[in-house]
Amino acid sequence: MPANLPAEAKSKYREASLARKPEEKIKKLQEFMSLFPKHKGTENLRAQVKRKISLLKKEIKEKKQKKTGASTGPKVFVEKEGDAQVVILGPTNVGRSSLLSILTNSKVAILNYPYTTTVPTPGMFNYHDLQLQLVEAPALMEGSSEGGSWGLQTLTSARNADGLVLMVDLSQNPIEQLSLISRELEKAKLLTRKPKARIEIEKKHMGAKLKFIVLGRLIDCSVKDLTRLLKSYGIRDATVKIWGEATLDDVEEAIFEGKVYRPAIILANKADHPKAAERLEQLKKLVGDEMKVIAVSCTTKTGLEELGAEMFEMLDIMRVYTKEPNKKDASLRPFTIRKGSTVFDLAKRIHSDFYKQFSYAKVWSKRLRFSPQKVGGAFALQDGDTVELHIN
Ligand SMILES: Nc1nc2c(ncn2[C@@H]2O[C@H](COP(=O)(O)OP(=O)(O)OP(=O)(O)O)[C@@H](O)[C@H]2O)c(=O)[nH]1
Ligand SMILES: [Mg+2]
């Protein structure tokens, strides 16, 4: 991308996004695909449209089954539970189920033959006061991003997660496995590297017109160019929010609801294999400082102690405990909020009234010279802080 689409294709896409019935949407999307050439520049878009079509087909099938009372079959992804959801992603047999069964209460089948796990399977992993929901996604393979076999379940699960564990196997060639994972993630528009720009396009009711909120910077384009681009796709009423540095191409990608960023770590399993050390070194060299690589063995149970801390670090979240004004002790279960959040963010998270009627807060923290300290809403919180909110 950008695909440099012909006007005809753009208007077909507009028709597809306006279509209400899934059957009609599928037809329009198929027509849309036939209206742009097949080449490298459109490869990702093609994969993405195919994924959309698979999802729509599944939707139709589920509706039909509901009508006839038949079982709706396995879910595409696991509903979130706990504080954050981490999906374990990797090719078959790398030991995803083994990891899930060690870290959680989940009873999964572990077998020495491929493709044992065929539905996204969850388990709860307790890390300090946090509950991390781990989900084993069915094995990733060549073509998963186009929705084949259970590719749809696998990549939709990854898309829906808060973070990813990319699992490879040191008894095989971990570099080949990682490049398979990267290729499929890229085609499914899942980024594991923080993008420079984040763009949200929220479609609004007719007559609302286009509104732009640029919190970052536009590169080589103006709001006028953006307006022209959006209108060429038939988007006339929407709020467009831009963080970071965005180009016109980035905005065009966002029109296709494309890219999402999910933080990830690499887990190299089967460190007990005789060739593991050598292969691990090669893998680490290739990855460099782009991502954390952790070596473990689910068989000998080595290297697993650090996993909780590494996942927590990856998720970029912090634990904040709350206390009621007249009580002695803080809550046992913390709130999990994004790193860098303020007292206001916490207040909003608890209840909008806390935010609207906020007066001040008291914060207990190891990093403060005196605790508690009376602070305002803009006070930046840190992991482990205890907060007492006071309202007017
Ligand atoms: N040597 C060694 N074998 C392991 C390790 N972890 C898992 N295995 C073996 O690898 C095989 C596959 O393990 P699973 O946990 O079922 O792998 P999976 O990734 O869930 O595989 P599928 O769901 O079938 O795609 C089993 O025979 C495990 O006993 C390890 O650390 N070392
Ligand atoms: Mg499995």
Q: What is residue 54's predicted lDDT score, i.e. its pLDDT?
A: 82
Cis amide bond preceding 372, omega within 30: yes
Q: Which atom of ligand 1 is nearest to the CA of 99?
A: 15
H or E element at residue 241: strand 238-246
The identity of residue 323, as a single letter, is K
Q: Which residues line ligand 1 (CB under 6 A)?
A: 92-98, 110-112, 114-117, 139, 171, 269-270, 272-273, 297-299
By most ligand atoms within 8 Å of CB, the mutation choice from 101, 104, 110, 267 for ligand 1 is 110
Ligand 1 center to 74 CA (angstroms): 23
Q: Which amino acid belongs to residue 337?
A: I
Closest C-alpha to 160, from 204, 122, 193: 122
Q: Is 361:389 a contact under the CB 8 Å cutoff?
A: yes
**Structure tokens belonging to residue 2:** 């950008």
Residue nearest to atom 25 of ligand 1 (CA): 92
Residue 201's H or E segment, with its range, is: strand 197-203
- Rounded to an integer, what distance in angstroms lies between the CA atom of residue 347 and that of residue 365? 18
Predicted confidence (pLDDT) per residue in 218-230, tens digit: 998 999 999 999 9
Q: Which two tokens stand for residue 333?
A: 């279960």
Which ligand sits nearest to residue 108's alpha carbon?
2
Ligand 1 atom with least separation from CA of 100: 15
Amino acid found at 15:
E
Looking up tokens 């539970």 gives: 81
Alpha carbon distance 241, 223 (integer Å): 12
Nearest CA to ligand 1 atom 7: 95
Which ranges of the chain have pLDDT less than 70? Answer: 1-3, 66, 68-75, 257-258
CA–CA separation, 73 and 15 (whole Å)? 31
Three-state DSSP at 12 gives helix
Q: List the one residue out of 309, 260, 283, 267 whose CA is nearest residue 88.
A: 267
Best of 97, 99, 113 to mutate for ligand 1, by most ligand atoms within 8 A of CB?
Answer: 97
* Strand order across the beta sheet in which 373-375 lies: 335-338, 317-322, 386-391, 358-364, 373-375
What residues does 166 pair with on adjacent strands?
89, 266
Main-chain phi, psi angles of 47, to 5 degrees: -60, -40
Give me the residue label for tokens 């536009």.
218
The predicted structure's pLDDT at residue 70: 59
- Please give the pLDDT value at position 257: 65
In a 10 Å sphere around its CB, with 0-12 CB exposed, 13-18 middle and 19+ buried, how is residue 320 labelled?
A: buried
β-pairing, 121-127 vs 130-136, is antiparallel
* Alpha carbon distance 285, 288 (integer Å): 5
Place of tokens 């849309």: 32
Query: In this predicted structure, what is the pLDDT of residue 1?
Result: 44
User: Do the beta carbons of residue 192 and residue 260 sit within 8 Å?
Assistant: no
Q: Return the number of other C-beta atoms located less than 10 Å from residue 287's C-beta.
A: 16
Contact between 373 and 387 under an 8 Å Cβ cutoff? The reply is no
How many angstroms separate the CA atoms of 184 and 198, rounded? 21
